[in-house]
């Protein structure tokens, strides 16, 4: 099941604290951010958790599929020992 980076927000600070205290959600970065409409945090959730938290008092904005992005980023990783001189790599 894909996992997504999401932004969870609410105007209820206690509900936001319950994300960690009650629901055991691991938030990204440095935790809650104050916004014009309350509080927000970034987290990684699967689709079933997103559906659960889409109910009041939470608002969810779904961003990228972190697993798909991770697979794409792995293609950027080099192969072999980059510290060897070119003539040593052929051996």
pTM beyond cutoff 0.85: no
Fold observed for domain 3-74: Alpha-Beta Plaits (3.30.70)
Token pair recorded at residue 79: 């192969």
For residue 83, what are its two tokens?
Answer: 């510290």
Residue of 70, 15, 72 lying closest to 44 (CA atoms): 70
Nearest to 34 by CA among 4, 55, 13, 56: 13
pLDDT of residue 73: 85
User: Does pLDDT of 41 surpass 70?
Assistant: yes
> In this predicted structure, what is the pLDDT of residue 88?
64
Q: Answer for the pair 4, 63: CB distance below 8 angstroms, yes or no.
A: yes
pLDDT higher than 90, residue 87: no
Q: In this structure, are residues 4 and 49 in contact, taking their beta carbons and an 8 Å threshold?
A: no
- Cβ neighbours of 50 (radius 10 Å): 17
pLDDT value of residue 33? 77
| Residue pLDDT, tens place only, 51-77 | 988 887 999 999 999 989 888 888 888
* Confidence label for 12 from pLDDT (cuts 50, 70 and 90): very high
């Amino acid at each position: 099941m894909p996992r997504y980076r999401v932004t969870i927000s609410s105007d209820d600070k206690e509900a936001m604290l319950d994300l960690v205290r009650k629901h055991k959600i691991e938030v990204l970065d440095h935790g809650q951010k104050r916004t014009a409409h309350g509080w927000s945090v970034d987290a990684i959730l699967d689709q079933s958790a997103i559906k659960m938290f889409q109910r009041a008092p939470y608002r969810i904005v779904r961003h990228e599929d972190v697993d798909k992005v991770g697979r794409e980023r792995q293609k950027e990783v080099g192969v072999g020992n980059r510290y060897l001189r070119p003539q040593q790599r052929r051996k």
